[in-house]
Amino acid sequence: MNTKSTGLLFARRALLFALIYFVERPARLAARIPPSRRVFAELDPAKITAVEVQVNGGASIIRAEKAGPLWQLTKPDPYPASGAMIEKLLDELAQWEWQTSIEHPNSWEEFGLLQGQFTLLLQGSGPERALKIGHISPVGDRVYVSARGSDEVLAAGTNALDWIPTNQLQWRDLTVLNLAGADYRRLQVRSTNWSFELELDAASHLWRMTKPIEARADTAKINEWLEQLRAMRVRRFVPEDAASAGPGGTAAGPETRQLVLTFLRNSGETNKALELQAGASPAGATNAQTNRVFARRCSRPA
């Protein structure tokens, strides 16, 4: 065999080796990797800025939107949302896996997907995602779901259902006084017997009293008091139209104006950043065994 023939044979072998190593081997390895079983394939929770839950075919809608680092409920009523609860749901959805699939089902109603127990809508910087959630499987360890536009029913684990709200109260922020992002410079404190006003110096961050007299205030004590208020948590939400017996047996809402804290952005009396109203005890004025009171948090747009 001459040198030319030897060279050609070596080239053929090198080409065959390259074909096996760089083409056939990766193809075999790819075949071993199972396809993704994520219900929401490649979902990045950090890119989601709006979550909507349509309950019972849209009979009620719960929607939360993210502005900066904070989540806000926008439907059915505007209210600060619990970012931790929403982000936990998004994390669960990103890891949510299905176990079996049914292509071209004979009846969507059989799986509870004609209208859906829930419909999840995720919006953000990527494509909008929508998912109908139907019945629980007879065994109880799977739930039937289907993505918008898909002709396939997936049977997925039920773990994510624990984080899907059935009413807006489940996503509300439990902080009684949330001053995060509240741009305030003055604080009015009013009760049934007395009132005073404080002003915060933007440069020194020191408080001073402006009403009923002008005087230096104890900044450390005021900040400690505000921290105690921030640490308070809601024990139960009371509907706005909840009725209690008023004078003469007439219906009246819970009294929440025995103490009013108003955080103002500037010297204007109406430019409120936040207002907290506190009032009567749920157990009644004659029952001293409870340390709970009715409270209402009112915020105003900038």
State yes or no: pLDDT of 4 exceeds 90. Answer: no
Q: Which residue has the tokens 């982000």?
A: 87
What pLDDT does 296 receive? 83
State yes or no: pLDDT of 203 exceeds 70. Answer: yes
**Nearest of 59, 138, 124 to residue 93 by alpha carbon:** 124
CA distance 145 to 117: 10
Q: What is the mean pLDDT of residues 86-115?
A: 92
What pLDDT does 241 receive? 59
What pLDDT does 172 receive? 92
pLDDT in tens, 125-171: 888 999 999 999 998 899 999 998 889 999 999 999 999 999 888 99
Per-residue confidence band for 27, with pLDDT thresholds at 50, 70 and 90: very low
3-class SS of residue 101: strand
Q: Peptide bond before 76: cis, by omega within 30 degrees of 0?
A: yes
What pLDDT does 176 receive? 86
Q: What is the mean pLDDT of residues 101-117?
A: 87
State yes or no: pLDDT of 74 exceeds 60. Answer: yes
**Nearest of 153, 122, 158, 106 to residue 44 by alpha carbon:** 122
What pLDDT does 175 receive? 87
| C-beta neighbour count of 145 within 10 angstroms | 27
Most confident of 179-188, 191-200, 290-299: 191-200
Out of 175-179, 237-241, 259-263, 292-296, least confident range: 237-241
What pLDDT does 284 receive? 55
Per-residue confidence band for 26, with pLDDT thresholds at 50, 70 and 90: very low
pLDDT in tens, 207-240: 999 999 999 999 999 999 999 988 888 888 877 6
What pLDDT does 129 receive? 94
Query: For the chain, how big is the Rg over CA atoms in Å?
Result: 30
Which domains does the chain carry?
45-171 (2.60.40), 186-299 (no CATH)
What pLDDT does 22 receive? 46
Percent of the chain with pLDDT over 70: 76
pLDDT in tens, 241-275: 554 444 443 334 455 578 899 999 876 666 888 88
What pLDDT does 19 receive? 46
What pLDDT does 209 receive? 95
Cross-strand bridge partners of residue 189:
196, 261
